[in-house]
Amino acid sequence: MKRIHPDTRIGLLVALPFVAFISLFLLYPTVAIVFSAFTPGGDYSVAGLGRALSGSYRQGFINSTALAGTTAVIGGIIGLTLAAVMRTLQRPRWLHSTLDSWSAVASQLGGVPLAFAFIAAIGTQGLLTKLFNQVGININDFGVSPTGFWGLVVVYLYFQIPLMFLVSLPALNGLRPTWREAAALMGASGARYWLRVGIPILTPAALGGMLLLFVNSFAAYATAYVLNPGGALVPLQIRFLLQGNVISGEEDLGYAIVTWVITLLLASLFLLTFLQRRTLRWTRS
């Protein structure tokens, strides 16, 4: 019998449980969905996949993409700016640890409590709605209500900004102070340094962060469900189809929609990994 190298043995010992775990709980259900999407009613057909992108479901994809895209860009810019500002501030040390922990909580825990908070703030009986009414502005006219598009954008920014803040910290720390000093020595102003050095180096990381934000909000369910369970967003439509799966044929539509979602997210994360490689070129020490 051929002897197995001890390194190979230890490699197998740690890799096998991981591979088995991923296969059983992630790949098996995912493959089952994709397989079902291509075989509606038992025969191979792409009709279901076509139907999932038509009518109200097409609108769902458009709405979800618009919401995720808008919050990714706005949240990305604000989150990155926050990280850049925090990096220049040394003094209130409590602010750093408070912001770090708060961001961890706000970016993950969001969901249900967040929706409640915004109903209390910008709902029809909300505190801010009332305050703005006092000065003669009806914020609902601008689509800022918990069910309107801009209202949802505002609510989603509450978890998107902290997430971007967390994600962009390492990239910003990769900008070495010596570069700035070198630029200053050669007579570049602060603005010129950012335009020529800072922003070009940060761009891949910033785009990567925004893609992550896009993925994060495209799939967000809890907040949207609590605010408006009947909204025309993809995650809410999936829930509707899943709960109404007594009607035959409708579950196939659910599989088709989920297949499209998985495809979209997979493409985004591919791009994200590519951008991260570009980022690593500069942040590697």
Partner 1 sequence: MKTFLKWAFLVALAAFFIVPLLAMARFAFQSVPVILLTPETALQGWSIDPIIAAAQEPQMWAASRTSVLLAAFTILLTLLLLIPLAIVTEIKAPHLRPLLTALTLLPWVVPPIALVVGVAVTFRTGAPWFLASVFSLVPFYALWAMPFTYRALDAGLQAINARTLYEAARSMGAPFATIVMRVILPNMTASIVAAAALTTALVLGEFAFASLLLKETLPTFMVNFQQSQARAGLALALVVLLLTAVAISVVVRALRRRGLSVQTTGL
User: Among residue numbers 31 through 70, which ones bind partner 1 (CB under 8 A)?
Assistant: 32-33, 36
Site string for partner 1, 63-102 (x = CB under 8 A): ---------------x--xx--x--xx-------xx-xxx
226 binds partner 1 (CB under 8 A): yes
CB nearer to partner 1: give 48 or 235.
235
| Residue in 18, 54, 56, 135 binding partner 1, rule: CB under 8 A | 18
245 C-beta neighbours (distance < 10 Å), count: 14
Please say which residue, 41 or 170, places its beta carbon nearer to partner 1.
Answer: 170
Q: Map residues 168-207 to x or -, x wherever contact with partner 1 holds by CB under 8 A.
A: -xx-------------------------------------
**What is the C-alpha to C-alpha distance for residues 97 and 103, in angstroms, rounded to an integer?**
10
Please report, as residue ranges, which positions from 103 to 122 form the binding site for partner 1 (by CB under 8 A). 103-114, 116-118, 120-121
Q: How far is the CB of 182 from partner 1 (least distance, A)?
A: 21
Size of the site for partner 1 (CB under 8 A): 87
- The alpha helices in 27-148, defined as continuous H runs, are 28-38, 47-51, 55-88, 93-109, 111-122, 127-134
Total residues found in the chain within this entry? 285
- Select from 4, 23, 30, 41 the one that contacts partner 1 (CB under 8 A): 30
Query: Under rule CB under 8 A, which residues in 140-159 are in contact with partner 1?
Result: 157-158
Considering only the stretches 49-57, 60-68, 181-189, 209-217, report the one whose residues sit in contact with partner 1 under the rule CB under 8 A.
209-217
DSSP per-residue codes, 233-285? -HHHHHHHHHHTTTSTTHHHHHHHHHHHHHHHHHHHHHHHHHHHHHHHHHH--
- The CA-atom distances, in angstroms, between 53 and each of 145, 225, 249 are 28, 22, 16
For the bound state, the minimum distance from the C-beta of residue 235 to partner 1, rounded and expressed in Å, comes to 4
Between CA 98 and CA 94 the distance in angstroms is 6
User: Is the CB of 75 or the CB of 183 nearer to partner 1?
Assistant: 75
Instruction: Decide whether 38 or 116 has the Cβ nearer to partner 1.
Output: 116
- Measuring CA to CA, how many Å separate 210 from each of 92, 167, 185, 204? 28, 9, 33, 10
Q: Which residues inside 119-138 make contact with partner 1, applying CB under 8 A?
A: 120-121, 125-128, 130
Q: CB 182: neighbour CB atoms within 10 A?
A: 13
Q: How far is the CB of 42 from partner 1 (least distance, A)?
A: 14
The least CB distance from residue 25 to partner 1, in Å, is 5
Cα dihedral 39, 63, 155, 148 sign: negative
Most distant pair of Cα atoms in the chain: their distance: 86
Q: Quick count: other Cβ atoms within 10 Å of Cβ 39? A: 14
Closer Cβ to partner 1, 184 or 269, answer by number: 269
Interface region with partner 1, contact rule CB under 8 A, candidates 44-52, 55-63, 175-183, 215-223: 215-223
> Alpha-carbon torsion 214, 219, 222, 227, what sign?
positive
